[in-house]
Amino acid sequence: MSNPAPATTTAPARTATKRTVLMCKPTHYTVSYRINPWMHPEEPTDTAKAVAQWQTLVDTYERLGFDIHFIDPIEGLPDMVYAANGGFVLDGVAYGAKFQYPERQPEGPAYMDWFREHGLRVAEPVETNEGEGDFLLVGDVILAGTGFRSDSTSHEEIARVYGREVVTLKLVNPAFYHLDTAIAVLDPEPVDGVANIAYLESAFDEASLAELRRRFPDAIIATEEDAAILGLNSYSDGHNVVIAARATTFAEQLRQRGYNPIGVDLSELLLGGGGVKCCTLDLHPVETA
């Protein structure tokens, strides 16, 4: 394989692909328990503001031509807005989530019901895993996070479900407790065989970092400042990358590579420890020719 041209001199043309996603309105959103360092139940949250901000994300996806599906929010499940954790969907198969904390456990079956009702075959999880929060498809490979939420035994389970290579990555900073807080997938479809990512180096242990450097020599290295507002928790269609509006360095890094960053403000949902990607489950629909 030849090396791609340095991205700083000539930004390659990027191609948007139509995405199909699942989202959940934050009708019952609040912070009433603490399962990550971002959450402060003693501080007030504004559900109406959360809904309004979430709606701007929906509107943004609509403008980009995405196919958006919605799952009904359930009272008493304030974190259900973070749809990415509801499972992992690929090749028409939904690998269900099995949440680490009891507060979120009922979300697993709720999302599995939705998957079944929408024609997907559900692989019921035995091992603890939090869906696309910790599983990211990059090219043919599934990057899989562990350390805080998903058990590494779920990495073996998901490898069996899809028959794909799964790369275990160990997270070491509790502020970046899900893989999608520390890695952004920039190319949902490979470009000339390459699918690139952006990541935060300090979120990983040495072995995982070595693996990331080897596999993604051309990755964007995010700044601590951008990561600290969950700037990496973004969603790309291959050209447009929807990111936290305050992640300005990340936006510039994306522009240099020929991507089109689009900033949205999800400050209210950040109080629960989530951002753009957390609110977005990629359904990876099966291509029909």
Class of residue 89 by CB neighbours under 10 A (exposed 0-12, middle 13-18, buried 19+): buried
Nearer to ligand ARG, 99 or 216 (CB): 99
Distance in Å, CB of 178 to ligand ARG, minimum:
4
Distance in Å, CB of 38 to ligand ARG, minimum:
7
Which residue in this structure is represented by tokens 């403000």? 265
Given its phi and psi angles, is residue 65 left (phi above 0), alpha (psi -120 to 50 degrees) or beta? left
Question: What is the footprint of ligand ARG within residues 149-188 (CB under 6 A)?
Answer: 178, 180-181
Residue 273: closest CA among 48, 64, 36, 61 = 36
Q: Tell me how far apart the alpha carbons of residues 262 and 271 are, in angstroms, rounded to a whole number.
A: 21
Token pair recorded at residue 8: 């700083």
278 touching ligand ARG, by CB under 6 A: yes
Residue type at position 177: Y
How many Cα atoms occupy the beta-carbon half-sphere of 144 within 13 Å?
24
- DSSP letter at 74 equals -
Nearer to ligand ARG, 162 or 235 (CB): 235
- Active-site positions read 178, 278
User: Site mask, ligand ARG, residues 56-95, x = CB under 6 A?
Assistant: -----------------------x--x-xx----------
- DSSP letter at 39 equals -
Distance in Å, CB of 46 to ligand ARG, minimum:
16
Count of residues that interact with ligand ARG, criterion CB under 6 A: 16
Nearer to ligand ARG, 14 or 284 (CB): 284
Nearer to ligand ARG, 96 or 273 (CB): 273
Distance in Å, CB of 15 to ligand ARG, minimum:
26
Residue type at position 252: E
* Residue ranges in contact with ligand ARG by CB under 6 A: 35-36, 39, 79, 82, 84-85, 104, 133, 178, 180-181, 272-274, 278
